[in-house]
Amino acid sequence: MVRVSISAVLFTAAIVVQAAKKTPAIVPGAYIIEYEDNHDPNTVLNSIGADASKRMDMNYKLFKGVSIKFKDLDKAEDKAAKIADMPAVKNIWPVKLFSVPQHTVHSVGDAAGGGLSRREEADTFTPHVMTQVNQLRDKGITGKGIKIAVIDTGTDYLHPALGGCFGPGCLVSFGADLVGDAFNGSNARIPDPDPLDECNGHGSHVAGIIAAQSNNPYGIIGAAQGVTLGSYRVFGCDGDTPNDVLISAYNLAYEAGADIITASIGGPSGWSEDDWAVTVQRIVEAGVPCVVSAGNDGSEGLFYASTAANGKRVTAIASVDNTLSPALLSNATYTVNNGTNQSFGYTPGNPAKWAGVTLPLWAVNFNTADPANGCDPYPASTPDLSGYIVLIRRGTCTFVQKVTNAVNKGARYVIIYNNVAGSSAVEAVVPPVQGIAMVTADQGAEWISKLAAGSTVVVAMTDPETAPKFLVNFNNTLSPGFLSTYTSWGPTYEVDVKPQLASPGGMILSTYPRALGSYAVLSGTSMACPLTAAIYALISNVRKTKDPATIENLLSSTSNPNLFNDGRTTSPYLAPVPQQGSGLIQAYDAAYATTLLTVSSLSFNDTDHFDPVKNFSISNTGSAEVTYRLSNVGALTGYTYADDATIQPDTFPNELVPAFAGISFGPSASVTIPAGQRKIITVTATPPAGLDAKRLPVYSGYIAINGTDGSSLSLPYMGVYGSLHSVTVLNSGGTFLSSKLDTNDTAVPANRTFVLPPPGHANDTGYAGTNKTDLPKVVVELAMGSALVRVDVVPVSTCKPVNSTAILGGPGTSIGQMANSPFVYQPRGQFTAGWDGKLADGTYAPSGVYKLAVRALHIFGDAKVVGEYDATETVPFRIRYSKLGS
Ligand X SMILES: *[C@@H]1O[C@H](CO)[C@@H](O)[C@H](O)[C@H]1NC(C)=O
Q: Which residues are catalytic?
A: 152, 202, 526
3-state DSSP call for residue 299?
helix
Residue 523 region by backbone torsions, left for phi larger than 0, else alpha for psi between -120 and 50, else beta: beta
Told to check if 658 binds ligand X by CB under 6 A, we report no
- Only segment of 53-61, 308-316, 521-529, 762-770 that touches ligand X (CB under 6 A): 762-770
Residue closer to ligand X, measured from CB, 99 or 712: 712
836 lies in the binding site for ligand X (CB under 6 A): yes
- Using alpha carbons, list the distances in angstroms from residue 309 to 4, 267, 428, 559, 710: 30, 9, 33, 19, 33
| CA distances to 313, 815, 821 from 794, in Å | 42, 6, 14
**Stretch of 36-44, 656-664, 679-687, 763-771 contacting ligand X, by CB under 6 A:** 763-771
Q: What string marks each residue from 481 to 500 as x (binds ligand X by CB under 6 A) or -?
A: -------------xxx----
User: Is there binding between residue 274 and ligand X (CB under 6 A)?
Assistant: no
750 lines the binding site for ligand X (CB under 6 A): yes
Site string for ligand X, 111-140 (x = CB under 6 A): ---x--------------------------
Our finding on whether 474 is near ligand X (CB under 6 A) is yes
Q: Which stretch binds ligand X (CB under 6 A): 145-153, 159-167, 432-440, 764-772?
A: 764-772
Is residue 325 within the footprint of ligand X (CB under 6 A)? no
Q: CA 583 to CA 564: how far, in whole Å? A: 11
Interface residue with ligand X, options 331, 434, 732, 798 (CB under 6 A): 331
Under the binding rule (CB under 6 A), the answer on residue 684 touching ligand X is no
834 binds ligand X (CB under 6 A): yes
751 binds ligand X (CB under 6 A): yes
Pairing of strands 324-336, 342-352: antiparallel
Task: Encode 204-242: b = buried (16+ Cβ within 10 Å), e = exposed.
Answer: bbbbbbbbbbeebbbbbbbbbbbbbbbbbbbbbbebbbb
To the nearest whole angstrom, how small is the minimum distance from the Cβ of residue 110 to ligand X?
A: 10
Cα separation, 492 vs 609, in Å, equals 15
Question: From the CB of 770, what's the least distance to ligand X, in Å?
Answer: 4
46 binds ligand X (CB under 6 A): no
603 binds ligand X (CB under 6 A): yes
d(CA 449, CA 154): 47
Tell me which stretch binds ligand X (CB under 6 A): 7-15, 17-25, 133-141, 601-609: 601-609
**Strand runs (DSSP E) across 99-155, as ranges?**
104-108, 147-152
Which of 119, 450, 609, 725 binds ligand X (CB under 6 A)? It is 609
Residues near ligand X (CB under 6 A), total: 39
HSE-up (13 A, CA, CB side) for residue 361? 32
**Judged by CB under 6 A, does residue 340 bind ligand X?**
no
Of the candidates 333, 396, 607, 619, which one interacts with ligand X according to CB under 6 A? 333
Beta strands in 36-191, from DSSP E residues, in sequence order: 52-59, 64-70, 89-98, 104-108, 147-152, 172-177
Minimum distance of ligand X from residue 876's CB (angstroms) = 6
The verdict on 803 binding ligand X (CB under 6 A) reads no
Residues contacting 635, CB < 8 A, separation 6+: 561, 573, 574, 575, 576, 577, 660, 700, 701, 702
CB 174, min distance to ligand X, A: 36
Q: Write the interaction track for ligand X spanning residues 58-97; mark x where CB under 6 A is met and - where it is not.
A: ---------------xx-----------------------
* DSSP state, residue 690: S
Which three-class secondary structure state does DSSP give residue 76?
helix
Distance separating the N- and C-terminal Cα atoms of the chain: 69
Separation of alpha carbons 99 and 91, rounded Å? 24
360 binds ligand X (CB under 6 A): no
Q: Rule CB under 6 A: say whether 770 interacts with ligand X.
A: yes
One character per residue 696-735, x = contact with ligand X (rule: CB under 6 A)? --------x-x-----x-----------------------
Q: Does 736 bind ligand X (CB under 6 A)?
A: no
Single out the segment in contact with ligand X by CB under 6 A; choices: 185-193, 293-301, 500-508, 766-774: 766-774
CA distance 790 to 787: 10
Q: What are phi and psi of 371, to 5 degrees?
A: -75, -25
Of residues 104, 281, 763, 826, which one binds ligand X by CB under 6 A? 763
Tell me which of 429, 624, 689, 768 binds ligand X, using CB under 6 A: 768
Query: How many C-beta atoms lie closer than 10 Å to residue 757's C-beta?
Result: 23
- By CB under 6 A, is residue 886 in contact with ligand X? no
Question: What is the rounded distance in angstroms from the CA atom of residue 35 to the CA atom of residue 242?
Answer: 19
Query: In angstroms, what is the minimal distance from the CB of 743 to ligand X?
Result: 5
Smallest gap from residue 648 Cβ to ligand X (A): 23
CB of 341 to ligand X, least distance (A): 6
Residues ≥6 apart with Cβ < 8 Å to 252: 60, 176, 178, 232
Q: Decide if residue 743 touches ligand X (CB under 6 A).
A: yes
Cα 474 from chain centroid (whole Å): 26
CA 589 – CA 591 distance, rounded (Å)? 5
Of the two residues 547 and 745, which places its CB atom closer to ligand X in the complex?
Answer: 745
Q: Is 882 an interacting residue with respect to ligand X (CB under 6 A)?
A: no
Span of 201-209, 333-341, 391-399, 615-623 interacting with ligand X by CB under 6 A: 333-341
- Quick check: 177 binds ligand X (CB under 6 A)? no
Q: What is the DSSP letter of 265?
A: -
The answer to whether 488 touches 295, Cβ cutoff 8 Å, is yes
Shortest distance, position 793 Cβ to ligand X, whole Å: 13
Contact predicate 567/478, CB 8 Å: yes
Helix 243-255 vs helix 275-285: angle between axes, to the nearest 10 degrees? Answer: 10
Among 44, 509, 551, 762, binds ligand X (CB under 6 A): 762
765 C-beta neighbours (distance < 10 Å), count: 8
Least distance between ligand X and beta carbon 777 (Å): 9
State which amino acid sits at residue 72. Answer: D
Helix, strand or coil, per DSSP, at residue 811 = coil
Task: Name which position in 7, 456, 627, 670 contacts ligand X (CB under 6 A).
Answer: 456
Nearer to ligand X, 474 or 573 (CB): 474
Residue 730 CB, shortest distance to ligand X, in Å, is 21
686 contacts ligand X (rule: CB under 6 A): no
Give the separation between CA 415 and CA 378, rounded to whole angstroms: 16
Closer to ligand X by Cβ: residue 452 or 750: 750
Q: How far is the CB of 463 from ligand X (least distance, A)?
A: 13
* Closer residue to ligand X (CB): 41 or 846: 846
Please report how close the Cβ of residue 546 comes to ligand X at its closest, in angstroms: 26
Least separation in angstroms between CB 711 and ligand X: 9
- Assess 605 for contact with ligand X (CB under 6 A): yes
Beta strands in 461-518 (DSSP E): 469-475, 501-506, 508-511
Q: Quick check: helix, strand or coil at residue 531?
A: helix
Sequence-distant (6+) residues with CB within 8 A of 250 are 151, 261, 263, 279, 280, 283, 290
Residue from 343, 670, 672, 686 touching ligand X (CB under 6 A): that is 343
CA distance 360 to 337: 10
Question: What is the Rg, in whole angstroms, of the alpha carbon atoms belonging to the chain?
Answer: 29
Residues near ligand X, by CB under 6 A: 28, 73-74, 114, 331, 333, 337-338, 343, 456, 468, 470, 474-475, 494-496, 603, 605, 609, 629, 631, 704, 706, 712, 742-744, 750-751, 762-763, 768, 770-771, 834, 836, 860, 876
